[in-house]
Amino acid sequence: MNKLLAIEVFVQVVDAGGFTRAAELMQLPKATVSTMVAALETSLSVKLLHRTTRNVTVTAEGAAYYERCLHILSYVRDADDSLLHDRVTPHGRLRVDVPTGIANSLIIPALPDFFRRYPDIALELGCGDRPVDLVEEGVDCAIRGGALPSSNLAARTVGVMKFMTCAAPSYLAEHGMPQHPRDLAQHRCISFFSAKTGRVREWDFARDGETFVFGQPSNMAINDANGYMCAGLSGLGIMQAGAYEAVRHIEAGTLVAVLPDWSTRPLPINVVYPQNRHLAAKVRVFIDWTAELFASSPRFQDV
């Protein structure tokens, strides 16, 4: 027996004053309405209605049960209406964590469009390269670059992170331009390391079927995107930075491309969120908006 439907039928019978009218209003066979009320009475071990050939009246127990049923159905309707409203107008506090570089170059400049679409969402945007525990820290979703470890997170790939090897003109004027990735061992290099594992990201190179991996015995390592770029611009060494940010500095002349005929392997960019958590409308629309934003940005597509 569908208990909730049986309750709805019982309430409708009381409101309509009989089985025939209730069946018409609910567009159900009269026999079905009668059977469901009888099954409800059996499950409760109490008589809810007095039935005669002329009319139907409520017993004392039925009247008390009827009042409680009205509250139950009201709560159900409120829950349905709330969900429908949430779908139509996503709202509420939304906590998102984004790497600093991507936040500054892509997400934040595009937020006016997001708020025009979803004015009732209050966004709390964490910007940094420190890994966060989404569940423990109450973060709804996060943008992450690189392969994802096995976890309780669901992920949607939205783009790729491409890299460019580059250095400040002042550094190259003093130390010269490497001609092959193996020459990097004779240079000062700036590494980027994970704040969580402490591991330094290796640099990989490919050209005409030849591959080379540089393990970076570096003079300096940084775990913050802003600090990393600042170090490169200051002439502290050669770095391998996100192409989305390096390109504008190369165009401005504050950085110079190093080994430009060698390509590097891009890393996937994912939006991650707890997979066992109900995906609220506010989270869903942010993920969809983010995917749309990355898709419209060639800097973050593998083309």
Residue type, 244: Y
The number of residues in the chain equals: 303
pTM above 0.85, yes or no: no
Average pLDDT, the chain: 87
- Supply 269's token pair: 């960019």
Rounded Cα distance, 193 and 223, in Å: 5
* Confidence band, pLDDT 50/70/90 cuts, at residue 88: low
Domains along the chain with CATH numbers: 3-88 (1.10.10.10), 92-160+268-300 (3.40.190.10), 163-257 (3.40.190.10)
Rounded Cα distance, 178 and 163, in Å: 17
- Residue 147 DSSP SS3: coil
Tell me what pLDDT residue 117 has. Answer: 93
Most confident of 128-137, 151-160, 211-220: 151-160
Contact 242, 224 (CB under 8 A): no
Residues 222-258 have pLDDT tens digits of: 888 888 999 999 999 999 998 888 998 999 999 999 9
Neighbours of 129 (CB within 10 A): 21
pLDDT > 90: percent of the chain = 40
Tell me what pLDDT residue 276 has. Answer: 58
* Confidence band, pLDDT 50/70/90 cuts, at residue 83: low
Residue 84 has pLDDT above 70, yes or no: no
Rounded Cα distance, 221 and 192, in Å: 5
Beta-carbon contacts of 255 under 8 Å, excluding residues fewer than 6 positions away, are 166, 167, 168, 169, 232, 233, 246, 249
Residue of higher predicted confidence among 112 and 137: 112
Tell me what pLDDT residue 82 has. Answer: 62
Neighbours of 248 (CB within 10 A): 12
Instruction: Compute the Cα dihedral for 165, 171, 172, 175 and give only its sign.
Output: negative
Rounded Cα distance, 299 and 303, in Å: 9
Angle, in degrees to the nearest 10, between helices 19-26 and 3-16: 120
Q: What is the mean pLDDT of residues 276-294?
A: 85
Residues 236-245 have pLDDT tens digits of: 999 999 888 8
Rounded Cα distance, 202 and 26, in Å: 67
Rounded Cα distance, 30 and 20, in Å: 6
Beta-carbon contacts of 17 under 8 Å, excluding residues fewer than 6 positions away, are 55, 56
Beta-carbon contacts of 261 under 8 Å, excluding residues fewer than 6 positions away, are 207
Tell me what pLDDT residue 143 has. Answer: 92
Query: With left for phi above 0 and alpha for psi between -120 and 50, is residue 237 left, alpha or beta?
Result: left
Residue of higher predicted confidence among 195 and 20: 20
Q: What is the mean pLDDT of residues 12-18?
A: 86
- Residue 211 DSSP SS3: strand
Q: Which residue has the tokens 């595009």?
A: 110
Residues 124-137 have pLDDT tens digits of: 999 887 778 887 78
Rounded Cα distance, 189 and 88, in Å: 51
**Residues 154/158/164/165 CA torsion (nearest 10 deg):** 0
Tell me what pLDDT residue 195 has. Answer: 65
Contact 204, 240 (CB under 8 A): no
Contact 99, 245 (CB under 8 A): no
* Confidence band, pLDDT 50/70/90 cuts, at residue 26: confident
Most confident of 81-85, 129-133, 257-261: 257-261
Residue 55 has pLDDT above 90, yes or no: no
Residue 170 has pLDDT above 90, yes or no: yes
Residue type, 159: G
Q: What is the mean pLDDT of residues 68-82?
A: 78
Instruction: Compute the Cα dihedral for 124, 227, 257, 249 and give only its sign.
Output: positive
Q: What is the mean pLDDT of residues 204-208?
A: 92
Residue of higher predicted confidence among 171 and 1: 171
Instruction: Compute the Cα dihedral for 57, 62, 67, 72 and give only its sign.
Output: negative
